[in-house]
Structure 1
Amino acid sequence: MNPQASALDKFLEQHAVESEGDVLIFRAIPGDYLRRLHGHSMLCQQTYKPEADALVKLGFKVVADPDAPCGLCIVFATKHKEETLYHMARAVSLLSEGGTLVVAAANDLGAPSLEKRCAELLGGVRAFSKHKCRVFCGTKETARLGQALLASWLSAGELQPIPGTDLVSRPGVFSWNRIDPGSRLLAEYLPDDLTGRGADLGAGYGYLSRMLLARTRSVAELHLFEAEWKALEAARRNLAAFAHGVQLHFHWHDVTAGLPIDRLDFVVMNPPFHSGREAEPGLGQAFIRAALASLKPGGRLYVVANRHLPYEKLVRTYAEHEKTLAEAGGYKVMEVRK
């Protein structure tokens, strides 16, 4: 079980947390803590598709961007500090007067710092430590609220320009404030003769799709698949200028579960290879399988990956043609023809 969920479960076992209204959980994840909230009207905020799907299967209502008031709000910290502060601020904004905010944060995600910031926002918190995590809570009292902090954290978590570009992104998205060097390298080697119907897997905020569409006018239809809803929200904005010339489709989807479309002429991707903080090459391999299964015979796949990742053997079991187009900065760009 996730250590933050385990720590929260133990906290709720030992500390009574009353709620006069609904319960809202930001970045909700499955866990035993959920049974301790049984009897309350509960809403789960989750923008990462695999976690959202897992909660739906358990019978919980899941939304990407809640706006309903609540009496108890729980926030799970993420690896993006700005995103966690944003969720804390959103939570306080939605809490009724006298409502309770509870934050669960792993120590290696900056729990002590987050606890201090939360105390500054609310005017004080109570803290609990377990499973190398901290759980801290406080009450919303408008008279004690750090209004300047609240406004600052809300602003910092919204869509904003990526420095040096005309793209937008936000905390919680992969490489949210810069162009990922792997994607930049792949963009240099995308051909200008791609035509027909294609897809960008793990599309993020749409950088590769945008570079592709700027290079060729022969693409009729492009599907962007992305598991993080916040990234897809940014991608819609970043590709708006191309909507009149190509059919754009945005899918909030877990690519590792396969694709709902086939007969693609081409696929481009910079697949993930981490699950949390741990390297997981199987993620990229699942992306490659999904891509090659969805390409029509003769279709092309362009993929960038860390040089050490073992994708070649997998590719050769599916491909008629495979070659490395470039190696630089620890990355490799591969062209695969089904």
Structure 2
Amino acid sequence: MLFAENQVLERNIEHLPAGNVLLLDLVNDNAISEFSVQRTDINWFGYTPYFDTHQMHKKHNVSFGAWLTQEQTNNTKFDAVVIYFPKTKLRFDYYLSMVSKHLNSGAVIYVVGEKKGGVKGCARVLETYCSDTAKLDSARHCMLFAASYNDYVCIKTLDDWFSKTDVTIEIDQQSVSLKLLALPGVFSANTLDNGTQLLLNTITEVTGHGLDFGCGCGVISAALAKRYDCSFTAVDVDALAVASSNKTFVENDVKANAISSNGLSAIISSGDKYNFIVTNPPFHTGTKTDYTITEQLISQALKLLKRKYQFWMVANSFLPYPELIKRHLKVVEIKNKNKRFNIYYTGTSI
């Protein structure tokens, strides 16, 4: 079954030109296989910054990373690109900047996305790269747009897209100053979110090597590594988050390293054990509430932790985590809370 965006694209597949077509930030379904049967005159390529999507499309020509490079595409130029409209408009601009380096003259840029996800505003951003934009279809709560590429190549590189934000955080009665570097659409990119701030304001001393699950721009790892001189492995499914975290770690000279992982896949396969886990986990997939990844973390945590451990987590108070933590770890304490968030803690001194 195709996702709604690809159902709309399938309805209009005859509009795509023959040649090389790139699906940019493609979704997790079987569209490439199905489209390949329907349009044998198209060479299908894909790009995703999400590690789980890349794993799903291993048998196809789908590139993965924070930035699509000429090495990844073997210098292929594309006659069309389909951009799946991202959650943030700034990341859409980032995608256009990136893909403009890979388009043939006169290529067509298609944009598809959910109506409630903001795709209707794509035309304004496309003005820099396109001479005209037209709506092709509206169905399945989605919209599809097409625009003629005007051959403008953005000069920005990956490094040009990092924003830099100075923050000062109070951790265990000491102020910690950080410089956060982040690519577009990365969580906590331009300001410290309230949940992370409450978590860092609450945590007492952690020692040894920790796991930062869902690291975003790396603020949790960087702040605690700087405050307590501990080390971190940070993981995220988004390659832009991993690149942002590693930039943040270098900038702040802390002992931490970020890697890409589909949930805990990379961590479990490594066999590493941790003294503590600290996390502000995601609970959205696209625009929908989805906390299965966090449930996996809680249920698998003991396989990752040493006998003496700490487990710290911030979460929206309405999410059903306390019983889950108690079931798989130990009795959970609410160490701090405000109107939106609870800080959960459990651990052992054995």
Q: Same fold (TM over 0.5)?
A: yes
* Rounded Cα–Cα distance in structure 2 between residues aligned with 1:163 and 1:215: 16
Once the 2 structures are TM-superposed, how far is the Cα of residue 265 of structure 1 from its aligned partner? 0.9
Contact conserved, 1:83 with 1:157, CA < 8 A, in 2? no
1:259 paired with 2:268, answer: yes
Letter in 2 for 1:111: V
1:110 paired with 2:118, answer: yes
Match of 2:109 among 90, 101, 109: 101
Aligned residues: 323
CA 94–188 in structure 1, closer or farther in 2 if over 3 Å, else same: same
1:289-308 equivalences under 5 Å are 289-308=299-318
* Rounded Cα–Cα distance in structure 1 between residues aligned with 2:56 and 2:166: 35
Letter in 2 for 1:18: A
Once the 2 structures are TM-superposed, how far is the Cα of residue 205 of structure 1 from its aligned partner? 0.8
Q: Which moved more, 1:279-288 or 1:294-303?
A: 279-288
Letter in 2 for 1:172: G
Once the 2 structures are TM-superposed, how far is the Cα of residue 290 of structure 1 from its aligned partner? 3.1
* Rounded Cα–Cα distance in structure 2 between residues aligned with 1:227 and 1:282: 14
Once the 2 structures are TM-superposed, how far is the Cα of residue 242 of structure 1 from its aligned partner? 5.6
More strand by share: 2
SS of 1:254's equivalent in the other structure is coil
SS of 1:124's equivalent in the other structure is strand
Contact conserved, 1:264 with 1:296, CA < 8 A, in 2? yes
Once the 2 structures are TM-superposed, how far is the Cα of residue 109 of structure 1 from its aligned partner? 2.0
Contact conserved, 2:135 with 2:144, CA < 8 A, in 1? yes
Match of 1:323 among 320, 329, 333: 333
Match of 2:185 among 137, 161, 172: 172
Contact conserved, 1:274 with 1:283, CA < 8 A, in 2? no
Q: Deviations over 1:212-263 (max 9, x none)?
A: 012112x2x42111111101101111111565x63x3322002254633343
Match of 1:88 among 86, 91, 96: 96
CA 104–120 in structure 1, closer or farther in 2 if over 3 Å, else same: same
Correspondence for 1:28: 26
1:226-305 equivalences under 5 Å are 226-241=236-251, 243=253, 246=255, 248-257=256-265, 259-260=268-269, 261-305=271-315
Q: Which moved more, 1:179-188 or 1:31-40?
A: 31-40
Match of 1:223 among 200, 210, 233: 233
Correspondence for 1:125: 133
SS of 2:190's equivalent in the other structure is coil
Letter in 2 for 1:17: P
SS of 2:233's equivalent in the other structure is strand
Q: Which moved more, 1:326-335 or 1:272-281?
A: 272-281
Q: Which moved more, 1:208-217 or 1:310-319?
A: 310-319
SS of 2:179's equivalent in the other structure is coil
Contact conserved, 2:51 with 2:239, CA < 8 A, in 1? yes
Match of 1:139 among 145, 148, 151: 148
CA 281–28 in structure 1, closer or farther in 2 if over 3 Å, else same: closer
Once the 2 structures are TM-superposed, how far is the Cα of residue 156 of structure 1 from its aligned partner? 11
* Rounded Cα–Cα distance in structure 1 between residues aligned with 2:132 and 2:31: 24
* Rounded Cα–Cα distance in structure 2 between residues aligned with 1:242 and 1:86: 25
SS of 1:100's equivalent in the other structure is strand
SS of 1:123's equivalent in the other structure is strand
* Rounded Cα–Cα distance in structure 1 between residues aligned with 2:133 and 2:190: 31
* Rounded Cα–Cα distance in structure 1 between residues aligned with 2:251 and 2:179: 12
Unaligned runs of 5+ in 1: none
Contact conserved, 2:298 with 2:328, CA < 8 A, in 1? no
Root mean square deviation, CA, Å? 2.6
